[in-house]
Amino acid sequence: MNQTVRVAIYARVSTEEQAEYGYSIDAQLDTLREYCKVHNWEVVGEYVDRGISGKSIEGRYELQRLLRDAQDKMFDEVFVWKFNRMARKNIDLLHIVDLLEKNNVAFRSLSENFDTTTSMGKFALQMMGAVGELERNTIVDNVKMGHRQRARTGKHNGKVPLGYRSVKIDERGRETRIVVIEEEAALVLNIFEQYAAGHGLKAIANDLNHRGHKTKTGKTFSTCAIRDILDNPMFVGKIRYNRYENWAERRRKGKSSEIILAEGHHPAIISEELWEKVQLLRHKKSVMPKKRFEGEYLLTGLIRCPECGAAMTASRTVNRAKDGTKIVRMYYSCGRFRSEGSSVCHANSVRKDEAEKIVMKRIRDAVMKPDILKKVTRSVNEHRLGRIKPLRDELAAVQARIDKLEMKKRKYLELYEMDEIDRSLFAERLNDLNRELDTELTRRSKLQLELRDDQAEPVSYELVRSLVGRFDALLSRSPFPQRKTLLHLIVKRITLDDRKRVGSVELAFNEETEKHFLSVAPSAESTAEGAFPLSGKAPRLTQNLTITI
């Protein structure tokens, strides 16, 4: 007798696809369920990512849950309506399918009519994936071409900066006009005038923050925000486009050599003369030598400010003794204070050498003293248990909101079927409800994933000892660059108490860091208290683990 095929259905639709092409999650699910029913396949799970783009795995909690369930052998096959529901990029699609195959799980697409259990199916997947990515890239290129043409004709693309707002001039909202917001424009003019008068980026940010001003997104001003305003030619009546290519993947590394600069249709906020003066100063300061701090700062960005929680960065003071000798003292100081000024936070400086010494000693003590490590292990397990009830309560609240929204949808459908509600009003309300429902369903998926991690078996003392011990052994024998890399990979954050002393060191281990950086188990001195000569294979980490010491 043939064994019943256990199938997991996966469906996804982005908000744009749903609005523009009318793609429906329910239609995908109904089609896949019916096909499984005809072929006597058992649907053991449905995984649905609603209103989420397929350009990456990040944020797709149902896909993440599906991949974990595949590792737990909960089904034999993953079934999708179209292959591009799984991933938009060919490399991501192949990676996902490879992960499924390693767990003996087949991948099948209904529309393309292939499955990966055959050689031809694998070949078809690769070809269709390449074609799908070509289609996506063609659409992206066409959109970029349109944006470039708009820029060449003096029209703005995307969000407008401080001082402006975009106003729709047609019913469909495709044509817009840029107008000046007088209050914000006065602020932009003040920023340019201050810089032209010789004030630095931090001094300007500090002044604006003290006066209670906010950026376009409602945040306090930083040196980066001031710099971006001073470098934006839109304020002098020009349109700049294509500074960076593929910003989502490459960020500032994708600097383009084909920048478009054209006269805009929008009004200028500052004069050409003031713009040129500021740009001259910007150029002069850009070629000035940057400050260079002597010494090796291990914990930059890891220590958190005890006042505002921002990352602390390298700083120093230089004084002279009575005999004229230069005395240099090195610290870690609040990054927000250094960037945004005293209205936002204070320096809260801690001595560099003292902080680094305490952190390294804290890690070593955890390895060498069993009582400390046992307490740490107990704390890890208690924390995980303590998280379960709040997560369950939140999950219950989310589920209640989902049920309420589903009930509302049914009521509106009943009213529509009874001709008691206008069609356009029904469509508008249904869209609103679907958006709210997508948000709640995504939140439910995320909570279910978090609960799954926290409900795993308790963490063992041997595992914690192995991880922290291998980490310490690598730190003790590595040169500075590797030591700093290891710390930034493993240390999640270092907190300070109210007296600016190291309070806790939070270590975050996961399968990737454990596999690639802590896989070789170093042996310890057998005479040391609590030492563990690890011979053979060290305990393997199968979940994300946070340890506070």
Q: Does residue 392 sit in the same domain as residue 320?
A: no
Is residue 376 in some structural domain? no
377 within some domain: no
Nearest Cα residue to 461 out of 548, 375, 383, 360: 375
Q: Are 79 and 63 in contact (CB under 8 A)?
A: no
Cα 203 to Cα 83, 183, 195, 301, distances in angstroms = 54, 21, 9, 23
Structural contact between residues 75 and 65, judged by C-beta atoms closer than 8 angstroms: no
CATH number at residue 203: 3.90.1750.20
- How many other CB atoms are found less than 10 A from the CB of residue 383? 13
Judgement on whether residues 80 and 171 belong to the same structural domain of the protein: no
- 40 and 124, same structural domain? yes
184 and 198 Cβ atoms separated by less than 8 Å: no
Structural domain includes residue 513: no
Do 10 and 133 have their domain in common? yes
- Characterise 48 by phi-psi region: left (phi > 0), alpha (psi -120 to 50), beta (else): beta
Q: What is the total count of domains within the chain?
A: 4
DSSP, collapsed to helix, strand or coil, labels residue 52 as coil
| Backbone angle region of 536, left / alpha / beta, with phi > 0 → left and psi within -120 to 50 → alpha | left
The reported pLDDT for the residue numbered 7 is: 92
The pLDDT value given to residue 189: 92
Dig out the tokens for 387 from the structure: 């998280």
3-state SS track over 320-339:
ECCCCCEEEEEEEEEHHHHH
Residue 356 placed within a domain: no
Q: End of a domain among 397, 429, 446?
A: 446
Neighbours of 225 (CB within 10 A): 23
User: Cβ contacts of residue 13 below 8 Å, gap of 6+?
Assistant: 23, 24, 25, 28, 50, 51, 85
Clarify whether residues 183 and 280 are in a common domain.
yes
Taking phi first (over 0 means left), then psi (-120 to 50 degrees means alpha), and beta for anything else, what does residue 471 get?
alpha
* pLDDT for the residue numbered 460: 78
Return the CATH number at 47.
3.40.50.1390
Q: What share of the chain is helix, strand, coil (3-state, %, to 5)?
A: 50, 15, 35
Same structural domain, 128 and 196 = no
Give me the pLDDT at residue 501, please: 86
Q: What pTM was computed for the model?
A: 0.53
Based on the fold, state whether residues 235 and 184 are members of the same structural domain: yes
Beta carbons of 161 and 169 less than 8 angstroms apart: no
What domain range includes position 297?
Answer: 293-348
CB atoms within 10 A of CB 293: 15
Per-residue pLDDT in tens (0 to 9) along the chain, 549 residues: 467 889 999 988 765 544 444 457 788 888 889 989 998 999 999 998 876 664 666 778 888 889 889 988 899 999 888 877 777 676 777 778 888 888 888 888 887 776 666 676 667 666 666 666 666 667 666 666 766 676 677 677 778 889 898 887 766 556 778 888 999 999 999 999 888 877 888 889 888 998 989 988 888 998 889 999 998 888 998 888 766 565 455 555 556 556 777 788 888 898 888 898 888 878 777 655 454 455 678 888 889 998 888 888 888 888 787 777 888 888 899 988 888 888 888 888 999 988 888 888 888 888 787 787 788 788 777 777 777 778 888 889 999 998 998 888 888 888 777 777 777 777 788 888 888 888 888 888 888 887 776 665 677 778 778 888 888 887 887 777 777 777 877 888 898 888 888 888 888 877 666 665 565 444 434 333 333 334 445 556 666 777 788
Residue 176 lies in a domain: yes
pLDDT of residue 75: 92
| 117 and 12 fall within a common domain | yes
How large is the greatest C-alpha to C-alpha distance in the chain, in angstroms?
96
Which residue, 446, 477, 494, sits at the end of a domain?
446
* β-pairing verdict for 106-109 and 77-80: parallel
Claim to verify: residue 168 and residue 243 sit in the same structural domain: yes
Question: 106-109 and 326-334 as β-strands: parallel, antiparallel, unpaired?
Answer: unpaired
136 with 11, same domain: the answer is yes
Is 493 within a domain? Answer: no
Q: Which residues pair with 495 in a beta bridge?
A: 504
| Beta carbons within 8 Å of 132's beta carbon, 6+ residues apart | 83, 84, 88, 90, 93
Contact by Cβ (8 Å): 484, 421: no
* C-alpha–C-alpha distance, residues 355 and 369, integer Å: 21
How far, in Å, are 239, 349, 360 from residue 193 at the CA level?
21, 32, 48
The CA-based angle 392-396-400, given to 5 degrees, is 170
H helices of 4-114, where?
Answer: 15-21, 25-38, 61-71, 90-102
- Tell me the catalytic residues: 14
**How many Cα atoms are found within 13 Å in the side-chain-facing hemisphere of 362?**
20
Domain finish residue from 238, 258, 286: 286
Note the pLDDT of residue 258.
66
- Do residues 4 and 43 lie in contact, with contact meaning Cβ atoms separated by under 8 Å? no
- What does residue 370 show for φ and ψ, rounded to 5 degrees? -55, -35
Is 237 part of a structural domain of the chain?
A: yes
Write 27-35 long-range contacts (CB < 8 A, 24+). 28/81, 28/85, 31/81, 31/110, 32/79, 32/80, 32/81, 32/110, 33/9, 35/79, 35/110
Summarised one tens digit per residue, pLDDT across range 173-211 is 567 788 889 999 999 999 998 888 778 888 898 889 989
Residues 281 and 300 grouped into a single domain? no
pLDDT at 512: 65
Could you tell me if residue 372 is inside a domain? no
- Tell how strand 491-496 and strand 176-180 pair up: unpaired
- Per-residue b/e over 196-210, b at no fewer than 16 CB within 10 Å? beebebbebbbbbbe
Examine the domain organization and report whether 106 and 32 are in the same domain. yes
Could you please report the per-residue DSSP string of 409-478?
Answer: HHHHHHHHHTT-S-HHHHHHHHHHHHHHHHHHHHHHHHHHHHHHHHTSPPPPHHHHHHHHHHHHHHHHHS
Q: What is the pLDDT of residue 187?
A: 92
